[in-house]
């Protein structure tokens, strides 16, 4: 018999105020299960790093996501191939690295070929109803109706007007998602929906408070002391190269974490913003239950990139350290996926092929990610043991140094190629990435090997660009060189 969510009876009253549980809505006959195509709900939080879930953290509370994780499959080693919002979100939709789709802030819309192969468009062509709610902030070629039947993009805001009253934006996004679910309950057509929360992303122009959340969370975490972030001492910062010390990551550090009082305040506010997303997820799950759709809806939860919380006395997410690259990933399939955890590397570019695979839709040959369904089912499969990552965004008004690199199971290589600075970390002996071995002659063979593999990835992914994107990149390079 199918598994459904149920919070433990011992859950505290505090959690009870914010969490929801799946209830059993009746068992379908086996033949019905086999013929129904699943609904697929993809939930994305902004700047939610991998270790900030209640199951894995001594302070933060995320009861709904914990329940989702306990009933589904948790991918413990999930990474993004580009640690910045816009590029990562396009990679999620296209199954392509930034090096191939070439989209980031300030770039033209994605190419026609890349846009047509985005998984919502392919699902729509395959007979799914497709929806999008929340943070968009990307540019895609073609009409929105090519991809979405229900399209509700939102700019960042603290509140939205809902039935004539202000409502915290996180809850407003949940209400829009609930509306689509309610509209779908009497329709046999399968659906897919992307729910993209702005939280816990900072409000960049609000240096006083940065992170916002519904008022009910104001008391959360007030009576705890947040431990110091790893490597947040002055000596560690002093060893960073000058260009990192002078980057926007240090500028934002000043008003986010610049002294102990500010660090405590801002980190708690960030935690509260995550907990508010957790409650919104519970609201959506409850609507799935109430409309009888919970038993045929796969739920995927992840973040678009990691996030630094005072590590190395920096803020942001643009670099190659673990706090920048790693995100949570939970997949719950009520039809009977293997429960537990997966330790193999999952990437943001795996989302698109996984969603298509779960829906029984053919995966395009040009996708660079891999379907995670064999890992969900516990099937033996050959899998990656390394991946390429990069950050190509180079704004003129602030300093965000671009990077390329490779992470293996045991090693990480990062090249800040505009500043001729390399980093090499032994992840097995130094998981905190405290000691840069790049200048140690003993490790020069490893450095050279990873640098060579990084260049090979660059050439491989550039060769897979569509003609449109390749021509655009060629033009951009000519302009930059003049």
> Strand (E) positions, 155-233?
159-162, 165-168, 191-196
pLDDT digits (tens, 9 = 90+) for 311-349: 999 999 999 999 999 999 999 999 885 569 999 999 999
For residue 315 the two structure tokens come to 């803020």
Mean pLDDT of 31-44: 78
- pLDDT for the residue 394: 82
Asked if residue 122 has pLDDT above 90, the reply is yes
pLDDT digits (tens, 9 = 90+) for 145-177: 999 999 999 999 999 999 999 999 999 999 999
Supply the DSSP symbol for 472.
H
Q: Is 105 helix (H, G, I), strand (E, B) or coil?
A: coil
pLDDT digits (tens, 9 = 90+) for 376-386: 999 889 999 99
Which uninterrupted H or E stretch holds 74?
Answer: strand 73-75
pLDDT digits (tens, 9 = 90+) for 246-300: 999 999 999 999 999 999 999 999 999 999 999 999 999 999 999 999 999 999 9
- pLDDT for the residue 1: 30
Asked if residue 16 has pLDDT above 50, the reply is no
Distance CA(212)–CA(218), nearest Å, equals 10
Which residues lie below 8 Å from residue 231, measured CB to CB, with a gap of 6+? 311, 312, 432, 433, 434
Q: What is the percent of the chain with per-residue pLDDT over 90, rounded to a whole number?
A: 87
At residue 476, φ and ψ (nearest 5 deg) are -60, -40
H-assigned helices in 111-247: 112-116, 119-125, 169-184, 234-238, 242-245
If phi > 0 it is left, if psi is from -120 to 50 it is alpha, else beta; for residue 95 that is left
The length of the chain in residues reads: 482
Q: In what order do the strands lie in the sheet with 78-79?
A: 326-327, 78-79, 346-347
- pLDDT for the residue 397: 77
Helices 260-290, 248-257: crossing angle, 10 deg rounding: 90
Distance CA(19)–CA(281), nearest Å, equals 9
Higher-pLDDT residue of 13 and 94 is 94
What is the CA 6 to chain-centroid distance, rounded? 26
Q: What domains sit in the chain, N to C, each tagged with a CATH number?
A: 38-382 (3.40.720.10)
Asked if residue 25 has pLDDT above 70, the reply is no
H-assigned helices in 209-328: 234-238, 242-245, 248-257, 260-290, 322-325
- pLDDT for the residue 477: 56
pLDDT digits (tens, 9 = 90+) for 447-480: 999 999 999 999 999 999 999 999 986 655 544 4
pLDDT digits (tens, 9 = 90+) for 171-194: 999 999 999 999 999 999 999 999
Question: CA separation (Å) from 426 to 49, 80, 239, 367?
Answer: 21, 20, 18, 30
CB atoms within 10 A of CB 441: 8
For residue 320 the two structure tokens come to 């190659």
* Selection from 177, 169, 173, 88 nearest residue 131 by Cα: 177
If phi > 0 it is left, if psi is from -120 to 50 it is alpha, else beta; for residue 454 that is alpha
Q: Are 271 and 59 in contact (CB under 8 A)?
A: yes
Q: Annotate 137-160 with DSSP letters as a single string.
A: ---BSS-GGGT-SEEEEE---SEE
- pLDDT for the residue 476: 59
Higher-pLDDT residue of 142 and 24 is 142
Picking from 60-69, 257-266, 288-297, 396-405, which range would have the lowest pLDDT averaged per residue? 396-405
* Selection from 68, 38, 39 nearest residue 53 by Cα: 68
If phi > 0 it is left, if psi is from -120 to 50 it is alpha, else beta; for residue 106 that is left
For residue 68 the two structure tokens come to 């989702």
What is the overall mean pLDDT for the chain?
A: 91
- pLDDT for the residue 338: 58
Q: Is 214 helix (H, G, I), strand (E, B) or coil?
A: coil
CB atoms within 10 A of CB 443: 16
- pLDDT for the residue 40: 98
């Amino acid at each position: 018999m199918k598994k459904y969510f149920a919070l433990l009876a011992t859950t505290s009253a505090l959690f009870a105020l914010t969490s929801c549980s799946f209830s059993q809505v009746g068992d379908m006959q086996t033949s019905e299960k086999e013929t129904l195509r699943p609904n697929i709900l993809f939930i994305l939080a902004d700047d939610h790093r991998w270790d900030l879930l209640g199951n894995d953290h001594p302070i933060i509370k995320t009861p709904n996501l914990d329940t989702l994780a306990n009933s589904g499959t948790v991918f413990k080693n999930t990474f993004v191939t580009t640690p910045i919002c816009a590029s990562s979100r396009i990679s999620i939709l296209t199954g392509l690295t930034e090096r191939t789709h070439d989209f980031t802030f300030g770039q033209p819309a994605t190419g026609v070929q890349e846009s047509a192969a985005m998984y919502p468009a392919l699902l729509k062509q395959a007979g799914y109803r497709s929806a999008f709610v929340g943070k968009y902030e990307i540019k895609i070629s073609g009409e929105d109706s090519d991809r979405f039947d229900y399209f509700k993009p939102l700019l960042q805001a603290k509140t939205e007007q809902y039935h004539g009253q202000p409502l915290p934006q996180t809850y407003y996004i949940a209400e829009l998602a609930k509306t689509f679910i309610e509209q779908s309950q009497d329709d046999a057509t399968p659906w897919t929906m992307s729910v993209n929360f702005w939280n816990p992303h900072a409000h960049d122009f609000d240096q006083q408070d940065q992170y916002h959340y519904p008022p009910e969370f104001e008391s959360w975490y007030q009576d705890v002391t947040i431990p110091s972030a790893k490597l947040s001492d002055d000596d560690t910062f002093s060893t960073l190269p000058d260009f990192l010390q002078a980057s926007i990551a240090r500028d934002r550090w000043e008003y986010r974490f610049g002294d102990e009082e500010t660090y405590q305040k801002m980190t708690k506010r960030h935690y509260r913003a995550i907990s508010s997303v957790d409650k919104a997820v519970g609201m959506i799950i409850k609507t799935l239950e109430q409309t009888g759709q919970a038993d045929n809806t796969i739920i995927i939860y992840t973040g678009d990139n990691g996030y630094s919380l005072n590590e190395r006395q920096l803020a942001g997410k643009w670099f190659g350290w673990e706090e920048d690259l790693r995100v949570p990933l939970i997949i719950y399939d009520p039809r009977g996926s293997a429960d537990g955890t997966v330790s193999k590397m999952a990437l943001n570019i795996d989302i698109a092929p996984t969603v298509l695979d779960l829906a029984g839709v053919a995966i395009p040959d040009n996708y660079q990610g891999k379907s995670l369904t064999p890992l969900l089912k516990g099937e033996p499969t050959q899998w990656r043991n390394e991946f390429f990552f990069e950050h190509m965004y180079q704004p003129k008004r602030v300093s965000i140094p671009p990077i390329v690199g490779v992470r293996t199971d045991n090693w990480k290589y990062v090249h800040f190629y505009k500043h001729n600075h390399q980093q090499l970390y032994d992840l097995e002996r130094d998981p905190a990435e405290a000691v840069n071995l790049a200048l140690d002659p003993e490790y020069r063979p490893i450095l050279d090997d990873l640098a060579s593999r990084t260049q090979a990835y660059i050439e491989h992914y550039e060769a897979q660009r569509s003609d449109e994107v390749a021509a655009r990149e060629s033009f951009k390079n000519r302009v930059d060189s003049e």
